[in-house]
Amino acid sequence: MEQVLYSECLQPFEGQLTNPALRETIDQMKAFVAVPTLTLLNWSDSEIAVPLVLEVALPPLGNVDGVDIREKEPVVVVFSTSGYPRIAPKVFTDRLDFPDSVSPHMFLRNDGRPPGFCLVRGGLSAANEWYSNKRISDVLIRVSNWLRDAACGELALNGDSFDPLRLTSYEGTVTYDYDQLAKIVRQSSSLYLNGNFARLQFELKNTKDSFNRTLIQVVPLDKLEAEQAHEAEEGRKSKDDPTRKVLCRGLLIWSESDTPIDRYNVELPKDWDTFKNEFCGQHLIDAEALEQELCRPQSGFYVYVPIIVAIKRPKTVFGFSDAIEFINFELEQKEDPDYPDRMDPGAPLSYSSHVQPLTPAKAAAISGFNYMQEKETLIAGAGALGSKIALHLIKCGARLLIADDDWLLPHNLVRHGLNAAYTFHYKAKAMAREAIRLFPNETVRVTPFAAKADILLQKDLGEVCSRILDFTASGSFQNELIKADIGEGIEVARGYLSDTGQLGILLVEGAGRNPRIDDLQAQLYHHAIQDTQVSAWLRRESELNSKTDLVTVGVGCHSDTTVLSDDIISVHAGIMSGLVKSASQAPPSKEGMVYLNQVSQEPFFQSATARHTFLPVDVMASQNPSDWEIRFSSGIVDLLKAQMRQASPNETGGVLIGCANFKTKTIHVTGLVDAPPDSKADRCCFFRGKEGLAQTVQHITEATGGQIGYIGEWHSHPKGPDAMSGTDTETVTRFKKTYQQEVTPLPVFLLIVTPRAVLPFVF
């Protein structure tokens, strides 16, 4: 019997091909199939169809499962007359009896036309992109290979999974969590006992560009009245109320049989009769009870009813976690006028595309980085820098506790991670709301704390937090964080901007908070003595802050006079976020890290990141009751002992350099200056000289922008005692009188080194 071709019902194309690329392509097709002419037919007002026959290399032992693929297969190639080659050609089988029910990778039949071949995973837009650097011969070869693979049973890319239907011509989208509905089907969690359907509540989200229904909840039988009350409450709200939700009811139906369906139905029903009696029947689904529920008085269904059909497949559906494929219909409800308890057989159906809601796990998978942890990460400061970093982490699945007591003001929007909808809201609360918008079906991902972050440091953070990230640009909060007893199990990092925003600095503490953020900052400043780039930065900061000897802790954006562009903030935020994420996956490090990200405008916009590592410091308490703590950079204590041994039996000494923080009562010793050549020493005394000392200290102070300088004196007692001598006491008294005359007086810091101890004294 002669096969029936769909192209036989098409009318000849009698127009003129004005598209030169299309004319050239048709000539290439003639050469490919070795025919002198090709017939051009009308496919639509803007498309032409070209029927031709392709040769297929069938398996020598016969087609798998006897599938009816032939050595010569007629196909129809469809071109857009004006959009080609930007719009890729589509290829359809020309056989009306083509075995589409056993062939994955075929689009649905539409308007009585045969199904099309899915040649590129991702649909028509992906096909356009694929064709951008291909020729028509590549398309025809791909179709021929598709047919060969179908004959060999090798169309599925992954033999362990089931390829779902290729759906096109959607009339909207429906959003739900696949795993949630699959669990309902597997557990047969029906609305009624021994039933095969569940009742769903959706929120209708319409815009000028899209039509969406998002699943809000699965409604059990004892919650039907509450569901109706909720819908009524939302319906009473003004249409101008931004909190108003348009709610509707839908259904999920499945087969009570566990028999899997392995055949494809590429012609979905367009009316209720076909849906109930053919489609559901083919998939072993009894839709009788579903129809009764739809027609039940006071059932509360609106005119348009989403109906999700679960089809049990023999293998796990590709891209999902279970062997269930969902087809999403929308019924335009009409009761049969002759039978009030029945649906009108002609009630129309359309179908929608499934959209998986964004979950933290999905966000982590998409971003390629899993930041999902049991405990929260505390982010102190949700300003321009902190908000952007927080959003990066949220989109990796992080659970955050965000502390900020400031509002989002209009000028903040130039650099902030949030948009204008949150103006005059507390930043912390706005960040929490943004997380809810990202993950509407999740429990709380962001806990807001709209108060001073240092209040949280007084709580037992170890119970809820695994990490503290400080982006406050606040010296006051830094001091509180330094002094806070947060326990050794919490990791701490601090990020801020300096150098008018061109330099991003991230300090990452070592294990057990040693080295601490203030240790890292002091050692970074000391590093300027040998690093010209760090020195140049500190010198610039010193010039900008000529009235004080403090480096700007951080560039804040509280004022609308701060000149700093959003792209620079974004670069720093992206770098710091990446570093924080990397640190979260690495084992605890004994070393502390300082990352410097420099943005420059010349010769073009660019950034470069450098890393400096610092070893744990030696920590000692003052011997006298002054509450001061002294923190020695790694190696300094060993160097002091070595110099004592080398000079023994005589005493020796020198000058200590570093910095002091009166708020935290901390002295950081970052280096030594050896005894000047005019110093004198014997077995009982050491008299530190002055030759060249002032110049050496001045060089250090200038190189570090005034951040590192003279901080104290040290000398040895090689024969003891392990205490201050009378001469030491007199020296301290003399120094105290001298220091009190300074504008910013230093503490009097004296260090005594003996064979048995290193003894710091602070007055």
The predicted-structure confidence for 496-508, as pLDDT tens digits, reads as follows 999 999 999 999 9
Tens-digit pLDDT profile for residues 248-304: 999 999 999 999 998 888 788 999 999 999 999 999 999 999 999 998 877 778 889
C-alpha span between 12 and 600 (Å, rounded): 64
Task: Tell me the pLDDT tens digit for each residue of 247-263.
Answer: 999 999 999 999 999 88
Mean pLDDT lowest among 84-88, 316-320, 708-712: 316-320
Structure confidence at residue 553 as a pLDDT band (50, 70, 90)? very low
Classify burial at 9, counting beta carbons within 10 Å of its beta carbon; exposed 0-12, middle 13-18, buried 19 or more: exposed
Q: What is the pLDDT of residue 166?
A: 77
Q: Looking at residue 560, what is its pLDDT?
A: 54
Distance between CA atoms of residues 412 and 423, nearest Å: 9
3-state class (DSSP) for residue 92: strand
Higher pLDDT, 467 or 333: 467
Q: 3-state secondary structure string, 159-228?
A: CCEECCCECCCCCCEEECCHHHHHHHHHHCCCCCCCCCEEEEEEEEEECCCCEEEEEEEEECHHHHHHHH
Q: Name the domain boundary from 561, 587, 614.
A: 614
Look at residues 217, 131, 141, 138 and name the one whose alpha carbon lies nearest to residue 175.
217
Q: How far apart are CA 212 and CA 234, in angstroms?
A: 18
- Cβ(749)–Cβ(626) under 8 Å? no
Q: Which of 9, 39, 14, 11 is nearest to 26 (CA)?
A: 39
Residue with tokens 């499945």, as numbered in its chain? 254
Give the pLDDT score at 14.
92
Q: Are residues 112 and 220 in the same domain?
A: no
Is the pLDDT score of 604 beyond 60?
Answer: yes
Angle at 367 between CA 361 and CA 368, to 5 degrees: 90
- The span from the CA of 203 to the CA of 333, in Å, is 18
Mean pLDDT (whole number) for 82-93: 95
Reply yes or no on whether the pLDDT at 140 is more than 60: yes
How many domains does the chain fold into? 4
Give per-residue pLDDT as tens, 6-23.
999 999 999 899 999 999
| 160 falls within a domain | no
Residue 546 pLDDT:
65
The H or E element containing residue 293 is helix 288-295
Rounded-to-integer distance, Cα 557 and Cα 415, Å? 8
| Measured distance CA(420)–CA(409) in Å, rounded | 9
- Do 17 and 137 fall within a single domain? yes
User: CB neighbours of 737 closer than 8 A, spacing ≥ 6?
Assistant: none
User: What is the edge-to-edge ordering of all strands in the sheet holding 618-621?
Assistant: 618-621, 629-632, 666-674, 653-661, 709-716, 749-753, 758-762
Q: What is the pLDDT of residue 549?
A: 41
User: Which tokens hold the place of 725?
Assistant: 């001598």
Residue 556: pLDDT over 60 = no
Q: Return all residues near 438 (Cβ < 8 A) that are at least 6 apart.
A: 358, 363, 394, 395, 445
Query: Domain containing 641 — which CATH number?
Result: 3.40.140.10
pLDDT at residue 333 is higher than 80? yes
Same domain as 626, residue 601: no
Residue 739 has pLDDT above 80, yes or no: no
Q: Is the pLDDT of residue 686 over 60?
A: yes
Per-residue pLDDT at 551: 44
For the residues 474-487, what does the mean pLDDT come to?
92
Instruction: Kindly state whether residues 623 and 601 are assigned to the same domain.
Output: no
Last residue of some domain: 99, 123, 155? 155
Q: Are residues 668 and 585 in the same domain?
A: no
Query: Is 166 among the domain residues?
Result: no
Where among 357, 372, 402 does a domain terminate? 357
**Domain membership flag for residue 387:** yes
pLDDT > 70 fraction of the chain, expressed in percent and rounded = 96
CATH of the domain at 315: 3.40.140
Q: Report how far residue 204's alpha carbon sits from residue 243's, in angstroms, rounded to the nearest whole number.
A: 13
Question: Which two three-digit tokens encode residue 40?
Answer: 């051009």
- What average pLDDT score do residues 643-666 get? 96
Please work out, in degrees rounded to the nearest 5, the angle formed at the alpha carbon of residue 706 by the alpha carbons of 705 and 707: 95
Per the document, the length of the chain is 763
Confidence band of 441 (pLDDT split at 50, 70, 90): confident
pLDDT at 558 over 60: no
* DSSP letters spanning 696-722: HHHHHHHHTTTSSEEEEEEEE-TT--S
Residue 350: phi, psi to the nearest 5?
Answer: -125, 175
pLDDT band at 66 (very low <50, low <70, confident <90, very high): confident
Is the pLDDT at 392 greater than 80, yes or no?
yes
The residue among 89 and 2 whose pLDDT is bigger is: 89
Position 207 pLDDT exceeds 90? no
Q: Is the peptide bond before 603 cis (omega within 30 degrees of 0)?
A: yes
Mark whether 271 and 373 lie in a shared domain.
Answer: no
Q: Are residues 632 and 713 in the same domain?
A: yes
Taking the alpha carbons of 379, 383, 384, 387 in that order, is the dihedral positive or negative?
A: positive
Residue 157 — very low, low, confident or very high, per pLDDT cuts 50/70/90? low
The answer to whether residue 548 scores a pLDDT higher than 50 is no
Same domain? For 151 and 258 the reply is no
Question: What SS3 state is found at 441?
Answer: coil
480 located within any domain: yes
Entry pTM: 0.83
What was the pLDDT predicted at 154? 84
Helix (H, G, I), strand (E, B) or coil at 308: strand
Residue 294 maps to a domain: yes
Question: Which two structure tokens, joined as six digits, stand for 648?
Answer: 């023994």
CA atoms of 351 and 332, how far apart (whole Å): 11
Q: Is residue 16, in this structure, part of any structural domain at all?
A: yes
Residue 2 has pLDDT above 80, yes or no: no
Other beta carbons within 10 angstroms of residue 386's beta carbon come to 29
Contacts 24+ apart (CB under 8 A), 31-36: 32/136, 32/137, 32/140, 33/140
Q: Which of 283, 291, 288 is nearest to 309 (CA)?
A: 283
The answer on 624 and 589 residing in a single domain is no
Assign 307 a pLDDT band (cuts: 50, 70, 90): very high
Query: pLDDT digits over 408-418, tens only?
Result: 999 999 999 99
Q: Which CATH number belongs to the domain containing residue 524 in this structure?
A: 3.40.50.720
Flag whether 162 is in a domain: no
**Shared-domain flag, residues 336 and 439:** no
pLDDT for residue 158: 65
Do 184 and 300 lie in a common domain? yes
pLDDT for residue 520: 98
Residue 550 pLDDT > 50: no
Q: Which helix (H) or strand (E) covers residue 234, if one does? A: helix 224-236
Q: Which amino acid is at 562?
A: T
The answer to whether the CB of 128 falls within 8 A of the CB of 88 is yes
Instruction: Measure the CA–CA gap between 222 and 225, rounded to whole angstroms.
Output: 7
Instruction: Tell which phi-psi region holds residue 233, choosing left (phi > 0), alpha (psi between -120 and 50) or beta.
Output: alpha
Cα dist from 388 to 498, 576, 730, whole Å: 17, 10, 56
Torsion of CA 184, 187, 190, 193, to 10 degrees: -170
Element (DSSP H or E) covering residue 762? strand 758-762
Amino acid at 658: G
- The helix (run of H) or strand (run of E) holding residue 148 is helix 136-152
Q: Please name the residues in contact with 285: beta carbons below 8 A apart, sequence gap of 6 or more.
A: 196, 253, 254, 255, 309
Angle at 48 between CA 44 and CA 50, to 5 degrees: 135
Domain carrying residue 581: 362-614
Task: Give the separation between CA 683 and CA 686, rounded to whole angstroms.
Answer: 8
Could you tell me if 313 and 244 lie in one domain?
A: yes
pLDDT band of 683, cuts 50, 70, 90: very high
| Per-residue pLDDT at 559 exceeds 70 | no
Q: Give a yes or no: residue 437 inside a domain.
A: yes
Average pLDDT, the chain: 91
Show Cβ contacts of residue 442 under 8 Å, excluding neighbours closer than 6 positions. Answer: 359, 360, 436
Spatial distance between the Cα atoms of 721 and 717, rounded to a whole number of angstroms: 6
